[in-house]
Structures are given as C-alpha cells and as structure tokens.
Amino acid sequence: MDSPRSAQKAPARQVLWEQVKDAAEAEMFCVFMGGAELDWAEYAWGILRESGLTSYSDDLGRARCLIRLMVLGVLFREFCRLAFDEKQEPVLSDWAHALGLDDEALMRLAGGEPPRSEDDEPTEAEMDRLLGELVEGQRLAVRDALLRHEKDTTGMFLSLYAIHLINEARLMESEDAMDDDHEDDLWWDERQRMRAWRWGQRLPDAIARDILNDPTAEKMQAFEWIENGMDSLAWW
C-alpha cells in the first residue's frame, strides 16, 4: 500500500529538449545564420535540467518549465542586443503559441482563473503583459542556474559570445575551404578550432584572450549587463 506521502506527490517528469527543439528553432533561437544559438540553447537547457528546472509533476509545472525556455530566449536576445546591436524583440505570444501554451494555462500559472465567458476574455495587450510578468518571474532562477554553471561573469560572457564565433566559422567554411593558402594563418587556425568546439568544453585560451582583449563598447555593455545581474531590458 502506498504511503500518504507517495500518494500525494506525483513522480517528477521532464520536459525533454527533443520536445521543445522545433519551437526553439523556429521562434526563439533564430537570430543569426549558422545555427549556433540553437546549440547553445540545448546546452543551456541541460544546465536547467541539472538544476531541476525542467522537471514537473502537473500541467502547471510543465507550463512553468516552458516559460523558463522562453527566459533563455529572452536572455539570448538581450545579449545580442547589447553585444552585437542586434535588436530582434522577443514576441512572447508567438513563442507561447509555438510551445502549446494557451491563455487558460497562462492565466492559471499566474494565479488567476480562466474566463467564464467571452466578455471576460483578456485582451491581447493584457496577455502580452501577463506573459512578460511570467517570464520575469522565472528570470532569476534561470539566471542563477546559468551563472552557477559558468562560475562567473567572464564564463557567462564567453559562453554567449562563442555563439557569434561559431556562426562566423560555419558560414565561412565553404568559402575558406576553396582557399588552401592558410599556412601560418593563426586566424584560420582559430576558426578551424571553433568549428569543432562545443559548449561544455573549455574555450581555447587563445580565443578567449582574443575576445576579452578587444574591449569594444558593445562587449563592455554586454559584460556589464551580466555582471549587474542580467536584468530585463524592458522589451514589453
């Protein structure tokens, strides 16, 4: 016979990366050509899994996990806005739709009750505001998990900045492969190493130094954003 405790608490389930990958690729992590941001998102989702942030025991818990994926998308776009002046605003309603989050689930997640009639249905602006609040409600948990894993501000900065380097290396691959004149070319050697590099591995010291020793204004503001807590850039 089950104990009262086991009867009360359903076993935890996981939101697997394979279950959200298509939505992540189509809506959230599609700023640049090259696809490296999707690889980073998978890596970051693994960090959240290790922190228990992809586990759930009921429908509301699953919805909360999906909101955390949206937080990853927002953090990525905020970094891009600061580090690369790439201002692609998160469209949270589209992201929620792609993840199968309907208005009723979102309202329950926010602690409210679903509408009883059409007259009670929230407006599009109200739902956008609600989504923004839900995302911000999970920002700290996601941020803290990422920073614990990356150890410090520098590690977090390099993890995100590597997206740009890998995309650059992938896009140049076909063009560079046609040119065999790369003897003693350190730039070429670094790009070759970045093509094979994956998150979770140590970034080559020479590449990390190149990134950090070229302190552009954009890099500095992105670094300071991380150092100051990765606060919202107020998209909504």
Task: Report yes or no on 234 lying in a domain.
Answer: no
Tell me the whole-structure pTM to 2 decimals.
Answer: 0.86
CA distance 222 to 78: 9
- Give every CB contact of residue 209 below 8 A, 6+ residues apart in sequence: none
58: number of Cβ within 10 Å: 10
CA distance 188 to 184: 9
- Give every CB contact of residue 103 below 8 A, 6+ residues apart in sequence: 114, 121, 122, 127
Which DSSP category does 169 fall into? H
Task: Report yes or no on 236 lying in a domain.
Answer: no
Task: Report yes or no on 5 lying in a domain.
Answer: no
Model confidence pLDDT, tens digit, residues 67-122 = 999 999 999 999 999 999 998 899 999 999 999 999 888 999 988 776 665 666 77
Task: Report yes or no on 184 lying in a domain.
Answer: yes
Model confidence pLDDT, tens digit, residues 162-215 = 998 888 877 776 555 545 555 545 555 666 677 778 888 888 888 898 899 988
Which residue has 């739902």 as its token pair? Answer: 127
Task: Report yes or no on 181 lying in a domain.
Answer: yes
Structural domain containing residue 63: 13-227
Task: Report yes or no on 235 lying in a domain.
Answer: no
Element at 137 (helix H, strand E): helix 124-150
Task: Report yes or no on 3 lying in a domain.
Answer: no
How many independent structural domains does the chain possess?
A: 1
